[in-house]
């Protein structure tokens, strides 16, 4: 039994599976656009369903255990060689997996990872005594302002309600707190030093939660990495600029999406 449940399309074979990891608050639905387009093209794909906050606190509170849980899902699906695409907290998981499992991880595509700036701020307090709780229009407005560059709402009401309901559960609050603590402890530069596979970092220029500039400064020391800054996007470019994000991913796969002989 895995910690994550998942959706899997095996594709045509002969290529690493593109594995989309869900984020701290959001489930696998943030990957709808690239998942469907790659699946339609015959690329093997897998995406996890649960947000990290919905997992057991012992898993959610460890970058390494989250990566192990992701690989267990891949094992259950029969996918050995993988390219990991991850946003936010999942970005650290992707980096960590690449360093720990170079025999399996053939590439990583990272967006909006924490670890170089103070704790991500979604503009909310989830304390039950707070004036703003994760329900209703004000919650939606603040979440939208924190995550996206423009004023358009890219989450459906059903998705927003699902996030809010999850955050009202005490166990999810504990998992969230432990996840954030794990990002504080995680040493990004030593982890990047261990990455040997192709790596792309696709970041929204206007990411308020995990600003891009500290990452640009750090990644300048890793000339083999690919860096793409999405001009009109916030924290979730795979939703806010879905066509642009997926095109970057497709280009990456054209160059690196084959299993070595």
pLDDT band at 127; cut points 50, 70, 90: very low
Residue 1 inside a domain? The answer is: no
The stretches of the chain forming alpha helices (DSSP H) are 32-40, 57-60, 63-77, 89-100, 136-147, 157-167, 170-185, 188-193, 213-219, 237-240, 242-256
Residue 126 inside a domain? The answer is: yes
Residue 42: domain span: 6-257
Q: What is the pLDDT of residue 149?
A: 73
Residue 59 inside a domain? The answer is: yes
Sequence-ordered list of residues with C-beta below 8 angstroms from that of 62, at least 6 positions apart, any chain: 182
pLDDT at 204 over 70: yes
Q: Determine the average pLDDT of the residues in 215-223.
A: 97
Q: How deeply is 153 buried, as exposed, middle or buried, from its count of CB atoms within 10 A (0-12, 13-18, 19+)? A: middle
Closest CA to 59 of 74, 76, 72: 72
Query: Token pair 């709402």 is at which residue?
Result: 153
Give the residues across from 227 on adjacent strands. 201
Which position has the higher pLDDT, 8 or 177?
Answer: 8
The answer to whether residues 69 and 55 touch, using CB atoms and an 8 Å cutoff, is yes
Query: What is the chain's mean pLDDT, rounded?
Result: 87
pLDDT band at 131; cut points 50, 70, 90: very low
Total domains present in the chain: 1
Residue 142 inside a domain? The answer is: yes
For residue range 61-120, what is the model confidence (pLDDT) as tens digits? 999 999 999 999 999 999 999 999 999 999 999 999 999 999 999 999 999 999 998 766
| Alpha carbons 134 and 166: distance in angstroms, whole number | 9
3-state secondary structure of 16: coil
Residue 53 inside a domain? The answer is: yes
Lowest mean pLDDT of 12-26, 77-91, 154-168, 187-201, name the range: 154-168
Q: Determine the average pLDDT of the residues in 42-61.
A: 95
Residue 132 inside a domain? The answer is: yes
Closest CA to 115 of 224, 189, 166, 167: 189
3-state secondary structure of 114: coil
For residue range 168-198, what is the model confidence (pLDDT) as tens digits? 778 888 898 899 999 999 999 999 999 999 9
| Alpha carbons 204 and 43: distance in angstroms, whole number | 25
Question: How many angstroms separate the most distant Cα atoms in the chain?
Answer: 58
pLDDT at 164 over 70: no
pLDDT band at 129; cut points 50, 70, 90: very low
Q: Assign residue 151 the CATH number of its domain.
A: 3.40.50.1820
Residue 107 inside a domain? The answer is: yes
| Alpha carbons 128 and 169: distance in angstroms, whole number | 10
Q: What is the pLDDT of residue 260?
A: 65
Which position has the higher pLDDT, 40 or 2?
Answer: 40
Closest CA to 36 of 238, 214, 255: 238
pLDDT band at 153; cut points 50, 70, 90: low
pLDDT at 49 over 60: yes
pLDDT band at 137; cut points 50, 70, 90: low
């Amino acid at each position: 039994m895995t910690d994550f449940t998942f959706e899997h399309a095996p594709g045509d074979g002969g290529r690493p599976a593109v594995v989309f990891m869900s984020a701290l608050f959001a489930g696998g639905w943030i990957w709808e656009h690239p998942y469907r387009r790659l699946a339609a093209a015959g690329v093997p794909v897998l995406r996890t369903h649960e947000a990290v906050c919905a997992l057991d606190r012992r898993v959610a509170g460890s970058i390494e255990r989250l990566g192990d849980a992701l690989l267990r899902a891949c094992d259950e699906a029969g996918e050995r060689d993988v390219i990991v695409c991850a946003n936010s907290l999942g970005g650290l998981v992707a980096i960590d997996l690449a360093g720990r499992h170079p025999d399996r991880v053939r590439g990583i595509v990272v967006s909006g990872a924490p670890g170089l700036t103070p704790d991500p701020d979604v503009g909310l307090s989830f304390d039950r005594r707070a004036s703003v709780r994760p329900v209703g229009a004000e919650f939606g407005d603040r979440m939208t302002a924190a995550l996206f560059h423009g004023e358009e709402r890219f989450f459906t009401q059903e998705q927003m309600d699902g996030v809010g309901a999850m955050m009202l559960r005490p166990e999810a609050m504990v998992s969230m707190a432990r996840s954030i603590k794990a990002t504080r402890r995680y040493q990004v530069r030593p982890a990047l030093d261990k990455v040997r596979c192709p790596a792309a970092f696709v970041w929204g220029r206007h990411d308020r939660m995990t600003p891009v500039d500290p990452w640009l400064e750090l990644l300048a020391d890793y000339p083999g990495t690919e860096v793409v800054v999405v001009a009109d996007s916030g924290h979730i470019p795979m939703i806010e600029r879905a066509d642009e994000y997926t095109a970057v991913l497709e280009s990456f796969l054209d160059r690196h999406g084959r299993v070595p002989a």
